[in-house]
Amino acid sequence: MADIERVIMPGVTHWHSPRFYAYFPTANSYPAIVADMLSDAIACIGFSWIASPACTELEVVMLDWLGKMLGLPEEFLACSGGKAGGVIQGTASEATLVALLGAKARAIRQAKEEHPDWTDYEIISKLIAYASQQAHSSVERAGLLGGVTFRNLPTDEKFRLRGDTLQEAIQKDRDAGLIPFYVVATLGTTSSCAFDVLTEIGPVCNKENVWLHIDAAYAGSAFICPEYRYLMEGIECADSFNFNPHKWLLVTFDCSAMWLKDPSDVINAFNVDPLYLKHDQQGSAPDYRHWQIPLGRRFRALKLWFVMRLYGKNHLQAHIRKQIELAHEFEALVLSDDRFEIVAEVLMGLVCFRLKGPNDLNEALLKRINGNGKIHLVPSKIKDTYFLRLAVCSRFTESADIVSSWQEIKQLTTLLMEEKKH
Amino acid sequence: MADIERVIMPGVTHWHSPRFYAYFPTANSYPAIVADMLSDAIACIGFSWIASPACTELEVVMLDWLGKMLGLPEEFLACSGGKAGGVIQGTASEATLVALLGAKARAIRQAKEEHPDWTDYEIISKLIAYASQQAHSSVERAGLLGGVTFRNLPTDEKFRLRGDTLQEAIQKDRDAGLIPFYVVATLGTTSSCAFDVLTEIGPVCNKENVWLHIDAAYAGSAFICPEYRYLMEGIECADSFNFNPHKWLLVTFDCSAMWLKDPSDVINAFNVDPLYLKHDQQGSAPDYRHWQIPLGRRFRALKLWFVMRLYGKNHLQAHIRKQIELAHEFEALVLSDDRFEIVAEVLMGLVCFRLKGPNDLNEALLKRINGNGKIHLVPSKIKDTYFLRLAVCSRFTESADIVSSWQEIKQLTTLLMEEKKH
């Protein structure tokens, strides 16, 4: 343990420091840690129901609880009695890839019905997936991994993908004899926390028979607060929905919650079922190995159970609301200084801001900020505009941290401006 | 905590019961659990070096330590000074898929150099991967996920893939204008713990310019004992090697160790590098997100460090040797009863056995065994021969457990035989 302090801690980036504002939050809480300890102690591998029934069954129930807490439409939940249900993936990247592979399997199956003479490879070469230019890098990467073409579509002035843009792109591809098959809509982009307009995108996807996957990795947690659900209107059109309780809902990494209205295509796409993995109860409960890329899986539903029971909906809502409030507090401070501008509407816990003026000025400022070691930010760039991102990350961040962090930024800005003058 | 006992434990399959013999082991130990607690407490996300330098750097060093403990050729290790090195994947399934995607990228690149007019899809439609019929289900699944054709090649009388069989298959495909690009050799198959003959397969792969990936998920841990290294002779021909410390080396799930001689094709195949993930030190340390399917990753190297330091090589070797000895003890008991036969040579901790006679007799016996609830086995089948697998799994299994488990099997057999007579 002494070596942890000596060797490890000096090289750790402190994601839970109250003044860590980089990337997006990664969650942490005592209930989640205790649940992980139990999971490590039980140490079962839940690849099939029989390999540890409680591991599978608790996951089915927890994803229903969580889905209800978010206000997901009932057709995503296992309790609806259909094929639907949730599953814990490791990361949102995997959820995007799993949905893409399901959509690909469905598209191949449907194209073969219409064109029995086409080979799989011919069909795959025609498949087109879509996301906004602001989608996360893992979306483009899912296309690379899945071996299909992705189109990154332009966004509106609020960095949102709109229905018309999607409709046009799909029509253009259909006219060229291609097969639009998959759309990823982002609720809460990484660069600026923009929300694609689902009420427009959803109907286009349904009309065009295109699988709609929703990536709400960060912002999805906010839907436990009813006042933010307007941002997911249109979700009823989606085939799959994903968000990361391990980002903003106090559940330690990894716990990425994904729901599928109809998992059949995902399950059938990867289904290899050797005798040593078969069991008598197949079909009566999910064998989650068919829902994911890996075979093995830990008992992660325990973390969800512990966090939901020990905090309860009210405390989880309070956590989300507090962090959004802190972001608005920082936004107000930025707006109070006319050297700065806000780059994107602040809806969640992320504030995108910059010094008015050229990009290199902002790059220089960020270098000073991170070099000074008191707070940590990462930048982003949209349409050639470079800006700084302040994401309220830590559960320990308080108003005093926001105020002193702003002081730090202001002081470094003043110094920088003075040096520029000389 | 009371609800854990009431709700969860009755539905848990006890993988660490001394009489759990199903599947393969999943590891557990106090040092690993403590390291996981620390990992949960630090709760950094190690997708890039800068996101937590210690997380990346400890992983680089631990994979070198582990590789040396196994006696891997130096060209797999980061300390060799080249591009090579190790990475912790979640599961062997992911390692097989990552290697396949790297091999696919390399094959496409090379085919394009020779045939600049071919499209990616044309090339992909010609790609052929190979593994033995005894390879794990995740190997075939990697083919499905990666969208390429896999050939399951026949094995010899010891259920091993041989060089001639592979050479013939490759030649036949080349003659048909196809592009052999990837071979998965298994060291320790799931059904019977057979070892493909690397000394034959390796040279064929090298001569044919085909990526050789070695899946030693279970048996790889045994290579820390020099007396078992003869089973990995030929490994110097491989491009990538993988085994699961989380199976047999006392490190809790998940921790699947993978080494790549040259990770460039893997890294370049998936590389999407947005500004918010870039940093100043790129290139001087691995950004492990490029080596894996997910983006996020936990601080899993801590588990390896704790287990290697607290047990030391000697105690880890003793653990492996003891479990293999217990398997031989069980083998001797089976051989002492002439109603039974051993189905495959016992090399590691797995004993494959059956009642002489028809499959349904063995199916009936297994049903009795598992139904009785004292011990747990799963079956397998090779070339229409159904058999029972007893894998020494738990760290708590002792000779007395082996003896009483054999008593249980014998008694249930006698009962079954008597009932059959009536």
B91-106 pLDDT, tens digit each: 999 999 999 999 999 9
Pairing assessment for the beta strands B350-355 and A378-382 based on DSSP bridges: unpaired
According to the model, what pLDDT value does residue A277 have?
Answer: 77
Q: Do B12 and A93 touch (CB under 8 A)?
A: no
E strand or H helix at A341 = strand A340-342
Residue B173 to residue B169: CA distance in whole angstroms: 6
DSSP string, B13-73: --TTSTTB-SSS-----HHHHHHHHHHHHH----SSSTT-HHHHHHHHHHHHHHHHHHT--
| Cβ partners under 8 Å of residue A191, min gap 6 | A134, A159, A352, A380, A381, A382, A389, B274, B276
Check whether B270 has a pLDDT greater than 80: no
According to the model, what pLDDT value does residue B373 have?
Answer: 94
Nearest CA in chain B to A108: B147
A190 touches chain B (CB under 8 A): yes
- Select from A33, A274, A276 the Cβ nearest to the Cβ of B41: A33
The dihedral formed by the CA atoms of B273, A354, A357 and A409, expressed in degrees to the nearest 10: -110
Residues in A 320-349 with any Cβ partner in B closer than 8 A: none
- Select from A7, A43, A270 the Cβ nearest to the Cβ of B252: A43
**Mean pLDDT on B247-262:** 97
User: Helix A301-335 crosses helix A53-70 at what angle (to 10 degrees)?
Assistant: 30
According to the model, what pLDDT value does residue A27 have?
Answer: 96
Closest by CA position to B356, among listed B387, B315, B317: B387
According to the model, what pLDDT value does residue A36 have?
Answer: 96
**Mean pLDDT on B254-272:** 91
The two structure tokens encoding residue A271 = 């289904």
The dihedral through the CA atoms of A391, A393, A395, A400 has a sign that is negative
Alpha-carbon distance B33 to nearest alpha carbon in chain A (angstroms): 6
- Amino acid symbol at A394: S
Q: Quick count: other Cβ atoms within 10 Å of Cβ B363?
A: 13
DSSP bridge pairs for B259: B86, B241
Residues in B 207-236 with any Cβ partner in A closer than 8 A: none
According to the model, what pLDDT value does residue A349 have?
Answer: 98
First vs last C-alpha separation in chain A: 50
According to the model, what pLDDT value does residue A280 have?
Answer: 78
Nearest CA in chain B to A280: B367
Q: Which residues of B touch A136 (CB under 8 A)?
A: 274
Nearest CA in chain B to A190: B276
B12 touches chain A (CB under 8 A): yes
Instruction: Give CA separation, B229 vs B25, B225, B232, B233, B348, in Å.
Output: 20, 7, 5, 7, 12
Residue A33 to residue B181: CA distance in whole angstroms: 44
According to the model, what pLDDT value does residue A284 have?
Answer: 80
According to the model, what pLDDT value does residue A421 have?
Answer: 84
Pairing assessment for the beta strands A340-342 and A256-260 based on DSSP bridges: unpaired
Calculate ∠ Cα A136-A408-A15, nearest 5°: 45
Residue B107 to residue A284: CA distance in whole angstroms: 42
DSSP bridge pairs for B242: B215, B258
Q: Which CATH class is domain B30-308?
A: alpha beta
Q: Which residues of B touch A144 (CB under 8 A)?
A: 269-270, 272
- Select from B23, B145, B380 the Cβ nearest to the Cβ of A101: B145
According to the model, what pLDDT value does residue B283 have?
Answer: 76
**Mean pLDDT on B296-310:** 97
What letters, b where the CB count within 10 A reaches 16 and e where it falls short, cover A193-202?
Answer: bbbbbbebbb
Q: Which residues of B touch A293 (CB under 8 A)?
A: 93-94, 97, 145, 293
B7 touches chain A (CB under 8 A): yes
DSSP string, B393-407: --TT--HHHHHHHHH
Radius of gyration of chain A (CA): 23
DSSP string, B167-196: HHHHHHHHHTT-EEEEEEEEBS-TTT--B-
Which one of A272, A297, A300, A362 would you mutate to disrupt binding with B, by most B Cβ within 10 Å of its Cβ? A272
Closest by CA position to A244, among listed A232, A262, A259, A258: A258
Q: Do A389 and B276 touch (CB under 8 A)?
A: yes
User: Helix B399-421 crosses helix B301-335 at what angle (to 10 degrees)?
Assistant: 50
Alpha-carbon distance B231 to nearest alpha carbon in chain A (angstroms): 24
Nearest CA in chain A to B275: A380
Residue with tokens 């609020």: A158
- In the three-class reduction of DSSP (H, G, I as helix; E, B as strand; rest coil), residue A78 is classed as helix
DSSP string, A376-406: B-EEEEETTEEEEEEE---TT--HHHHHHHH
Backbone phi and psi for residue A111, each to the nearest 5 degrees, phi listed first: -65, -35
Burial environment of residue B262 by CB neighbours within 10 A (0 to 12, 13 to 18, 19 or more):
middle
Closest by CA position to A31, among listed A246, A303, A257, A313: A303
Q: Do A37 and B33 touch (CB under 8 A)?
A: yes
According to the model, what pLDDT value does residue B278 have?
Answer: 79
The two structure tokens encoding residue B83 = 């591009």
Long-range contacts of B110-115 (CB under 8 A, 24+ apart): B110/B209, B111/B179
A375, A19 contact by CB (below 8 A): yes
According to the model, what pLDDT value does residue A422 have?
Answer: 77
Q: pLDDT category, B202, cuts 50, 70, 90? A: very high
Pairing assessment for the beta strands B350-355 and B385-391 based on DSSP bridges: antiparallel
Alpha-carbon distance B335 to nearest alpha carbon in chain A (angstroms): 23
What letters, b where the CB count within 10 A reaches 16 and e where it falls short, cover B25-56?
Answer: bbbbbebbbbbbbbbbebbbbbbbbbbbbbbb
Residues in A 241-300 with any Cβ partner in B closer than 8 A: 246, 252-254, 269-270, 272-277, 293-296, 298
Q: What residue ranges in B313-382 does DSSP mark as E strands?
A: 340-342, 350-355, 378-382
- In the three-class reduction of DSSP (H, G, I as helix; E, B as strand; rest coil), residue A410 is classed as helix
Q: Which CATH class is domain B2-24+313-421?
A: alpha beta
According to the model, what pLDDT value does residue A363 have?
Answer: 97
Residue A418 to residue B350: CA distance in whole angstroms: 73
A134, A159 contact by CB (below 8 A): yes
Alpha-carbon distance A254 to nearest alpha carbon in chain B (angstroms): 8
Q: Which residues of chain A have pLDDT under 50?
A: none
According to the model, what pLDDT value does residue B195 have?
Answer: 98
According to the model, what pLDDT value does residue A390 have?
Answer: 98
Q: Do B298 and A145 touch (CB under 8 A)?
A: no
According to the model, what pLDDT value does residue B342 have?
Answer: 98
According to the model, what pLDDT value does residue B151 have?
Answer: 97
Residue with tokens 């209107």: A233
The answer to whether the bond into B254 is cis (omega within 30° of 0) is: yes
- In the three-class reduction of DSSP (H, G, I as helix; E, B as strand; rest coil), residue A82 is classed as coil
Q: Quick count: other Cβ atoms within 10 Å of Cβ B192?
A: 23
A300 against B277, higher pLDDT: A300
Alpha-carbon distance B142 to nearest alpha carbon in chain A (angstroms): 9
The dihedral formed by the CA atoms of A400, A404, A410 and A411, expressed in degrees to the nearest 10: 160
Calculate ∠ Cα A414-A417-A418, nearest 5°: 85
Residue B253 to residue B90: CA distance in whole angstroms: 8
Q: Number of residue pairs across A and B with CB atoms under 8 Å?
A: 226
Q: Quick count: other Cβ atoms within 10 Å of Cβ B116?
A: 7
A206, A234 contact by CB (below 8 A): no
Task: Please tell me whether the overall predicted TM-score, pTM, comes out greater than 0.90 for this model.
Answer: yes
DSSP bridge pairs for B234: none
pLDDT digits (tens, 9 = 90+) for B39-59: 999 999 999 999 999 999 999
According to the model, what pLDDT value does residue B359 have?
Answer: 97
Q: What are the residue boundaries of the structural domains of chain B, listed by start?
A: 2-24+313-421, 30-308
Q: Which residues of A touch B249 (CB under 8 A)?
A: none
A70, A224 contact by CB (below 8 A): yes
Q: Do A295 and B91 touch (CB under 8 A)?
A: yes
The two structure tokens encoding residue B207 = 């001569």
Instruction: Give CA separation, A258 vs A76, A89, A112, A215, B20, in Å.
Output: 10, 7, 28, 9, 32
Q: Which residues of B touch A147 (CB under 8 A)?
A: 120, 124, 146-147
Q: Do B94 and A121 touch (CB under 8 A)?
A: no
According to the model, what pLDDT value does residue A276 have?
Answer: 77
The answer to whether the bond into A254 is cis (omega within 30° of 0) is: yes
Same fold, B2-24+313-421 and B30-308: no
B165 touches chain A (CB under 8 A): no
Residue B39 to residue B49: CA distance in whole angstroms: 16
Residue A294 to residue A98: CA distance in whole angstroms: 11
Q: Do A270 and B141 touch (CB under 8 A)?
A: yes
- Select from B4, B8, B43 the Cβ nearest to the Cβ of A252: B43
Say which DSSP state A251 is in: P
Closest by CA position to B366, among listed B399, B389, B350, B334: B389
DSSP bridge pairs for B354: B341
B93 touches chain A (CB under 8 A): yes
Q: Do B298 and A254 touch (CB under 8 A)?
A: yes
Residue A368 to residue B387: CA distance in whole angstroms: 67
